[in-house]
Chain A
């Protein structure tokens, strides 16, 4: 198990390096010019100087290695400095956004809380709705509850999140006026009243995302339960005289959760990606919204760093899912 974990970890490093190269080359191949917005009246030699100031005059591999150094060495040092009040990173060039001239990591740190609260909460809610629904619809297969659950989950992952979001805004934001349709990031929770405001503004994006997540996970839960319910050990457990509750909720559930747990782990990075659209609909200024703004304004360091962070998330959670599977399922041996 340990050697397997180590090997997977060692494979993850070159994978990430290649991914970063792919993203970098894609950005490099693009004809977009970060100075495209600069007025035409600016003389060409000044433009050349501006390019040099942005570091665009050196060859692409120089900039790539510079970015690698900044991302893997300077930024962690800065984090250490910030946490322990040291000065290791003094005078080192950080990854700077073209658009705001601010260190990219600062902007990301400002935006992570919004994404985490909205996306994280909706994933938690989605999972906690999905598991009971999946369990019950598998236990009562082909009952009206199962049929309804199947239909709702089909709808849940067929209707795109931008449409559910817009429909919710029309119903709850415009017609009923229950929830605000725009997320206010400046809002601070200080007392009960402001907490309620926060809950109300989070209600709709969380609803949209949790419906979408619940739809997928409940399908997995249901089919995994169905696979286990017909096994011989279930019959044995019933024959021993165990109560139905113990059979389903202890024996079957524990075995059925193994693949579902890995699916849940694998879904964590994709919700960050999927949240790009939802954040755009509800104007939540999280990571996804920042990515879209940066793409529109050709802010290459920002796009590069954000996309790479998404890639790190995916690779890490793939690793976690693989390891979890090995830990949870004793039938699997990585030798």
Chain B
């Protein structure tokens, strides 16, 4: 007890709570390593193309299927395209699909969760809808959506943007349910809190109530499920690409690179391993970050 008082006395300015979160996060070694790995992958795919300026689509039929060399550090593929450049370009697509799909699914999930938790009239309808979505066979439907709507979308937005929109929407529309449930649970608990009663008693309108008092307090579960959402979106995108239902062939993503290399995996196993390792490393690091965040954002664990 005396310790706590002396620490409180020493601290002159009130500390931002995110510093506490960071302090707790730092104690989780796996999460720190995960953060470091994730940032180095991000650096590789963002800064990498500025340093390694080879065009990932440049076909050089004289340098097909080469091994590791100085000219091509990770070798070349069956059309002589540089693997390092393709891995970097593929990562850019895979990670941006992951991030955008996560944003979409979190926005949807939070919106539905907050509405269902805050407004009693909507609750029944929205939560039955969530249950219905949870009962849908998601992977088959995802495959179906991506196959069926691929042509019209790529016709109206061009092959790359069209497929990007399609995949992001498909993943987002099939993954928001978990976060909606979590958010609704937290909102229901928060609604009974005294500060909410106080805010209501001074006449705060529902809109400001949600943006001012409810949303900031449900940030932690949202952040955790956002982190885990990135991981599952990356896996889903690469699974779609692996089944041949993802991006068009000349448009590299990690899943697509893996899919293209599977045919020749007996001769050139490195071309399968490289994109696979990149997917796995990214997902693993993101999952570890999520694990650490969950501990760091849990006030029962923090400060112990």
Q: Are A166 and B265 in contact (CB under 8 A)?
A: yes
Contact indicator B280/A158 (Cβ below 8 Å): yes
- Taken together as a complex, chains A and B put the C-alpha atoms of A202 and B136 apart, in Å, by 29
**B136 & A22 in contact (Cβ 8 Å cutoff):** yes
Q: Which A residues, 2 to 31, have Cβ-Cβ distances below 8 Å to chain B? A: 15, 18-19, 22-23, 26-27, 29-31
Residues of B close to A155: CB separation below 8 A: 280, 284
**How far apart sit A163 and B261, CA to CA, in the bound complex (Å)?**
12
Contact B148 A277 (CB under 8 A): no
By the criterion CB–CB under 8 Å, are A162 and B239 in contact? yes
A-facing residues in B113-159 (Cβ within 8 Å): 131-132, 134-141, 143-145, 147-149, 151-152
Q: Which of B148, B149, B243 contacts A292 (CB 8 A)?
A: B243
On chain B, the number of residues with a Cβ less than 8 Å from chain A's Cβ atoms is 40
Asked if B276 CB lies within 8 Å of chain A CBs, one says: yes
In the assembled complex, the CB of B171 is this many whole angstroms from the nearest CB of chain A, namely 14
**Contact between chains at B280 and A159 (CB < 8 Å):** yes
For the residues of A in contact with B, the DSSP-based class is: helix
The residue from B148, B231, B279 contacting A26, defined by CB atoms under 8 A apart? B148
In the assembly, what is the distance between CA of A132 and CA of B148, in Å? 44
Q: A246 at the A/B interface (Cβ < 8 Å)?
A: no
Q: Is the pair B139, A276 in contact by a Cβ cutoff of 8 Å?
A: yes
- Interface segment out of the listed A60-68, A107-115, A185-193, A308-316: A308-316
Q: Which residues of A contact B141 (CB under 8 A)?
A: 23, 26, 307
**Which one of A77-85, A119-127, A167-175, A323-331 is at the B interface?**
A167-175
Q: Are B262 and A280 in contact (CB under 8 A)?
A: no
A-side contacts of B135, CB under 8 Å:
15, 19, 311, 314-315, 318
For window 62-110 of B, CB contacts with A under 8 Å fall at: none
B239 and A26 within 8 A (CB): no
0/1 string, A251-279, CB within 8 A of B gives 1: 00000000000000000010001101100
A276 touches B149 (CB 8 A): no
The CA of A27 and the CA of B143, in the complex, are separated in Å by: 12
Name the residue on A nearest B147 (C-beta): A295
Instruction: Indicate whether B41 reaches chain A with its CB closer than 8 angstroms.
Output: no
Could you say which residues of chain B place their CB within 8 Å of the CB of A269? 137
Q: Does B164 contact A (CB under 8 A)?
A: no
